[in-house]
Amino acid sequence: MSVPKLEQLSKSVVKGPSLATGAVPTKDWMEIPVEFKPGNYAYPAKKEKVEYLNSQKGLHFPNAREWSPEDDDWKLPEDWKDIILQGLKERLDKFRSLKIFMDCCVRCGACADKCHFFLGTGDPKNMPVLRAELLRSVYRNDFTLGGKILGKMVGGREMTVGVLKEWFMYSYQCTECRRCSVFCPYGIDTAEITMMLRELLHLVGVGINWILEPASNSNRTGNHMGLQPHTFKDNVDFLVDDVENLTGVRPNVTFNRKGAEVLFITPSADVFAEPGLYTAMGYMILFEAIGLDYTWSTYASEGGNFGLFTNNETMKKLNAKMYAEAERLGVKYIIGGECGHMWRVLHQYMDTMNGPADFLETPVSAITGTKFQNAASTKMVHITEFTADLIKHGKLKFDKSRNSHVKATFHDSCNTSRAMGLLDEPRYVLDHVVDWVEMPEGTIREQTFCCGSGTGLNTDEIMELRMRSGFPRANAVQYVRDKFDVNMLSCVCAIDRATLTSLNNYWTPEVGVCGVSELVGNAIVQENEGENRANLDEGLRTLV
């Protein structure tokens, strides 16, 4: 889909008919049906991908078929309504969060202007409270006393195909970033609502390809890119060569090696595409510099978890590989690379779903002796925690000037910040390796803005939507670019590295995107370095 020119979109973001800028829709939101046009929806999942997922034990992805959101008839199963209402009832009985969030919203609107989708599109249905009302109205009608008696009067409505279509539209205009939840007086987390909406939609076979294909790839080949073991190894080997060419030191990388001390898992995008590749090179240089005894796995070759974007069963199934592989290889603990939602799953779901991991040990850094008590149960350490600890103990030698071509800023990923509280570790690392500045308050730390394309929305057919929803983030980048000449946006999330690249190309083309570990790799000084090591004028990105 073609994206409007920058100038055009800039105008439309401000002047477009939107609540954000003052233009009020004249009709009640229930009276405004959704309309699917090329460019405003992500493509539905391919039949064979859905069939494959459905064939996997423990997963349920019925009603595989060819269909298009633009068609009137979505080829739903005959009893689709019962399935949805039954599914909703089940979830109300299974998740206190859902029940409380359905019951306790006072519609104060504190969350309304917190969502990047609302700010970028101005569509009132993108206000978190209204996104939740899309589901709550049906809940009210069918599951509450007032709604059963008074129905529409009190904001209840029947479940219809129109409502289902609306759910599809707006549950894929939420990146489950939880920014709204920070501001809500009851911590109502619209991301939970979105997750439930998506779960319900999958029950009747409504899902998008950019999520279900990566999910099925992850299941079969171990990673969402669908890289088979030999290809995965080849990709990493290329990076090993690159690192050797650039630094003069060849990192010792092994795969599926039993008896290694540490299993290292990172999102597969890091070994597949720019700019993640440089981050992966950074990991290698770091591990080589300290002589870590670690291995990669081709079977558990994905940190990212596309199950999080579908339903909790798929999330569990994909996540389970990490522990299964750690057990098979007999490692002591796991280090995880830079990834947002991988860490959300790790932090909030992994141990619950697939623990206890009693075949592993509480992580202890062999280099510093630090015991990572905060990971005593999951047995998994975040790369920036690990690096920060090395720095604190003086185990790494840096030459900050090797990053002198970079003036960085730091983007907190929604997941590591709002679902984990990982805020200062990456900052501590950055302080030691690069000259950097913060973006304005209100757009960083727990109030950070989403890249706009998380939870499986970084697909090209909805580019305009992505550029709009990423606008609040881009605008903060623009601010530090203009004020401090920032030319690099660093982050600890692989989806960010992919999506922020498109976002910056559109709004702030002068600013690149990198992982924190890339900057670490740039700055590390090793013994036996090649002669040219100090002179790489673009760090690991220098062409040789």
Partner 1 sequence: MKYALSFLAVVVLAAVAWLGSQVPGMSYIFGVAFPYLAILVFLGGFVYRIVQWAKTPVPFSIQTTCGQGKSLDFIKHNKLEAPHTNAQVIARMALEIFTFRSLFRNTHAQVHDGPKITYESSKWLWLFALIFHYSFLLIIIRHMRFFLDPFPGLLALIEALDGFFSIGNPTWYLTSAGIVVGVLFLFARRIASTKVRYISLINDYFPLFLILGIATTGILMRHFLRTDVDITAIKTLGVGLVTLQPTIQVSLSPLFYTHLFLVCVLLAYFPFSKLMHMGGVFMSPTRNMKNDTRENRHVNPWNPRILPHSYAGYEDEFREYMVEAGLPVEKELPPQKDEE
Footprint (CB under 8 A) of partner 1, residues 372-411: 373-378, 380, 385, 388-389, 392
- Binders in 337-366 for partner 1, by CB under 8 A: 346-349, 351-353, 355-356
Residues 47 and 151: their CA atoms lie apart, in Å, by 38
- Which one, 69 or 470, has the nearer CB to partner 1? 470
Q: Is residue 177 a contact residue for ligand SF4 (CB under 6 A)?
A: yes
Environment class of 43 (CB within 10 Å of its CB; exposed 0-12, middle 13-18, buried 19+): middle
| Segment near ligand SF4 (CB under 6 A); pick from 4-12, 183-191, 332-340, 436-444 | 183-191
Would you count residue 32 as binding ligand SF4 (CB under 6 A)? no
Cβ 83 vs Cβ 205: under 8 Å:
no
Report how many residues bind ligand SF4 under the rule CB under 6 A: 27
175 binds ligand SF4 (CB under 6 A): yes
Count the residues of the shown chain that bind partner 1, applying the rule CB under 8 A: 126
Burial 222-247 (b: 16+ CB within 10 A, else e): bbbbebebebbbebbeebbebbeebb
Q: Is 241 in the site for partner 1 (CB under 8 A)?
A: no
Residue 371 interacting with partner 1 (CB under 8 A): no
| 145 counts as binding partner 1 under rule CB under 8 A | yes
- Residue 177: name its binding partner from ligand SF4, partner 1, none (Cβ under 5 to 8 Å by kind): ligand SF4
Instruction: Check residue 543 for interaction with partner 1 (CB under 8 A).
Output: no
Token readout for 292 is 């870590």
- Alpha-carbon distance 284 to 364, whole Å? 19
Residue 110 half-sphere exposure, CB side, CA atoms within 13 Å?
A: 14
Nearer to ligand SF4, 205 or 472 (CB): 472
Per rule CB under 8 A, is residue 108 in the interface with partner 1? yes
Among 3, 42, 188, 300, indicate the residue that binds ligand SF4 (CB under 6 A).
Answer: 188
CB atoms within 10 A of CB 512: 22
| Of the candidate residues 94, 107, 392, 483, the single one contacting ligand SF4 (CB under 6 A) | 107
Per CB under 8 A, 182 contacts partner 1: yes
Stretch of 201-209, 216-224, 238-246, 264-272 contacting partner 1, by CB under 8 A: 216-224
Min dist CB 358 to partner 1, Å, is 10
- Asked if 94 is part of the footprint of partner 1 (rule: CB under 8 A), the reply reads yes
CB of 409 to partner 1, least distance (A): 16
131 makes contact, choosing from partner 1, ligand SF4, none, with CB < 5 to 8 Å by partner type, with ligand SF4
Site map 472..511 versus partner 1, x via CB under 8 A: x--x------------------------------------
User: Taking CB under 6 A as the rule, does residue 129 contact ligand SF4?
Assistant: yes
Q: Is 420 in the site for partner 1 (CB under 8 A)?
A: yes
Contact 118, 126 (CB under 8 A): yes
Q: How far are the Cα atoms of 344, 437, 477 from residue 496, in angstroms, in the given order?
A: 14, 19, 14
How far apart (Å, rounded) are the C-alpha atoms in residues 267 and 290? 22
235 vs 517 by CB, closer to partner 1: 235
Q: Which helix (H) or strand (E) holds 437?
A: strand 436-437
| Interface pick for ligand SF4 out of 191, 281, 285, 345 (rule CB under 6 A) | 191
Query: Contact, 244 vs 470, CB < 8 A?
Result: no
Range in contact with partner 1 (rule: CB under 8 A) among 20-28, 165-173, 241-249, 451-459: 20-28
Alpha helices in 58-185 (DSSP H): 80-94, 96-104, 116-121, 128-143, 145-150, 161-171, 179-183
Q: Which of 3, 50, 105, 135 binds partner 1 (CB under 8 A)?
A: 105
Helix H segments across 249-339?
276-290, 312-329
Torsion of CA 422, 424, 429, 431, to 10 degrees: 150
Return the number of the residue (208 or 388) whose C-beta is nearest partner 1: 388
Which does residue 424 touch among partner 1, ligand SF4, none (CB within 5 to 8 A, set by kind)? partner 1
419 touches partner 1 (CB under 8 A): yes
Q: Which position among 157, 179, 317, 418 is part of the footprint of ligand SF4 (CB under 6 A)?
A: 179
- Of 19-27, 32-40, 262-270, 400-408, the segment contacting partner 1 by CB under 8 A is 19-27
Q: How far is CA 344 from CA 332, 373, 382, in A?
A: 22, 18, 11
The string of DSSP letters for 380-425 reads: EEEHHHHHHHHHHTT---B-GGGGTT--EEEEPPHHHHHTT---HH
Is 124 within 8 Å of 25 (Cβ atoms)?
yes
Q: What angle do CA 3, 4, 7 make, to 5 degrees?
A: 140
Interacting residues of 313 by C-beta distance below 8 A, sequence separation 6+: 58, 59, 60, 307
Whether the Cβ atoms of residue 518 and residue 275 lie closer than 8 Å to each other:
yes
Round to whole Å and give the CA distance between 305 and 298: 15
Partner from ligand SF4, partner 1, none contacting 234, C-beta within 5 to 8 A by type: partner 1
Burial of 480 (0-12, 13-18, 19+ CB in 10 A): buried
The single residue among 54, 65, 85, 144 that binds partner 1, judged by CB under 8 A, is: 144
Considering only residues 279 to 298 of the shown chain, the ones binding ligand SF4 according to CB under 6 A are none
Q: Is the dihedral of CA 145, 150, 155, 160 positive or negative?
A: positive
Examine residue 3 and tell whether it contacts partner 1 (CB under 8 A): no
DSSP 492: S
- Determine the interface stretch with ligand SF4 among 56-64, 179-187, 256-264, 459-467 (rule: CB under 6 A): 179-187
Which one of ligand SF4, partner 1, none is in contact with 475 (Cβ closer than 5 to 8 A by kind)? Answer: partner 1
- Tell which one of 17, 33, 38, 146 touches partner 1 (CB under 8 A): 146
The single residue among 153, 528, 531, 537 that binds partner 1, judged by CB under 8 A, is 153
Site of interaction with ligand SF4 (CB under 6 A) = 105-111, 114-115, 117, 128-129, 131, 174-180, 184-186, 188, 190-191, 194
